[in-house]
Structure 1
């Protein structure tokens, strides 16, 4: 049978706050009601999400999650990031809501995550990545080593599972074990460490990790390779 459609129903403590958040992501509200219960629908292209407003609902206790496969995850992330910057004046990267940038994670495909105002996790993956089985432990995939491998392991814990403490421990061990790792990998590890420290509420340590990343000696090619990572790290940590 073809033509089936499946729509997630996600829970929020405040329906209008949720509608506003999804508007910043480029979704339009196609339905809203407050009685006899609060609910709404938002849609962007072929993506439609049903929202359920529940008084007293705690986003920190949410188990809501959805996997979304899209034609171009990178382009969608850029669009979401631009919308959130315009709405909030910054890129929300800690707490609820937040947007986690695309990263390759151990044992899964490259993708990014939106944690919305209800604490629901929307995990976005590109169609090509899913079709190609872009998993670092998959058949025919290139297995990373050293700092690059540690970064993927940490991203699985910190971005896919939300376990920042374990992710930080993975990165800290890797920095000790691989002092001679590729400079660009060291930069990326330090920058992810800075981001995780922002999420765990340690801005001073995050600033120190960012400073350490910017102090890594790089040649022109290496600096070009990590330019986006550095820009993201500076935005997440914020001004000194």
Structure 2
């Protein structure tokens, strides 16, 4: 038999909140039910998400998760990030909702992926659908690169941002005498991101300051790291102006 389809059913505190949030991501509501139970069906092209309402549900208690395999995680991230930026003024990376940036996943055979955490704490895990292909950026990794890969698993997959900060901080200290590299820029940008996620602006600022001072090659990865750093710097500045 072929043509089967699986649709995840995820808990939420409010189906109206989920419908409103999903709209900025490009989803449309295909079904909404209030009785006998709260239910919401969403669709974005071939991506379907369904939610059932639990009025007393708390995002911090959620174990909801699903896996979405797509041809190009980067393209979907860009679309989601644009919608989130339009709604919230910047891409949220802490609290609920939030999104992680596309990165190679050690626990997904090295393929690229990201996670979207919705307002009810459900993790929508997006990965490249490339069964049998070589991992993204396959090749020998440095010690710093391996630590960065470990930190991605800790923060983006397990949600342990505090441990990711420790792993990255230690790895960057050990590699302090090495020449500037795109890999170091990526590690610094990620350290700043996860540090902000645990409300550690001092560590985030120090990481961004060091990244700004690196002399890097003019390649895609370096450009991406600098763009991420600029966005994180803007978040820091907004936080400093908050009462």
CA contact (8 A) 2:201 2:236 kept: no
Summarize the alignment of residues 45-194 of structure 1 with structure 2, pairs less than 5 Å apart.
45-108=45-108, 109-128=111-130, 130-132=131-133, 134=135, 141-179=138-176, 180=178, 182-194=180-192
Quote the residue 1:233 is aligned against.
229
- Tell me if the contact between 2:97 and 2:117 (Cα under 8 Å) persists in the aligned partners: yes
Per-residue Cα deviation, 1:57-93 (whole angstroms, up to 9, x for no partner): 0111111111110121111111111111111221111
Measured against aligned partners, the alpha-carbon deviations of 1:86-142 in whole angstroms (never above 9, x if no partner) come to: 1122111111110101011223221011001110111111223x4415288xxxx52
Please provide the CA RMSD for this pair: 1.8
Match of 2:44 in 1: 44
Q: Distance in 2 between matches of 1:72 and 1:217?
A: 30
Which runs of structure 2 are paired with 1:200-215 in the superposition (5 Å)? 200-215=198-213
More moved, 88-97 vs 105-114 = 105-114
Count of residue pairs the alignment pairs up: 233
Q: Contact between 1:151 and 1:189, CA under 8 Å: does it hold in 2?
A: yes
Q: TM-score, normalization: structure 2?
A: 0.89
Q: Are the aligned partners of 1:147 and 1:181 in contact in 2 as well (CA < 8 Å)?
A: no
1:24 equivalent to 2:27? Answer no
The structural deviation recorded for 1:239 is 5.2
TM-score normalised by L of structure 1 = 0.90
Runs of 5+ consecutive residues of structure 1 not aligned to the other structure: none
Q: CA deviation at 1:184?
A: 1.7
CA distance in 1, matches of 2:232, 2:37: 37
Q: Deviations over 1:124-165 (max 9, x none)?
A: 11223x4415288xxxx5231222221111111111111111
Gaps of 5+ in 2: 238-243
CA displacement, residues 160-215 of structure 1 (integer Å, 9 cap, x when unaligned): 11111111111111112222155222211111111011100122331222112111
1-10 or 209-218: which moved more? Answer: 209-218
Looking at structure 2, the residues matched to 173 and 116 of structure 1 have their Cα atoms a distance apart, in angstroms, of 31
User: Any conservation in 2 of the 1:106–1:152 contact (CA below 8 Å)?
Assistant: yes
User: Tell me, what secondary structure is at the counterpart of 2:101?
Assistant: strand
Structure 2 CA distance for partners of 1:123 and 1:133, relative to 1, 3 Å = farther
**In the alignment, is the contact (CA less than 8 A) between 2:180 and 2:215 conserved in 1?**
no
Name the SS for the 2:162 alignment partner: helix
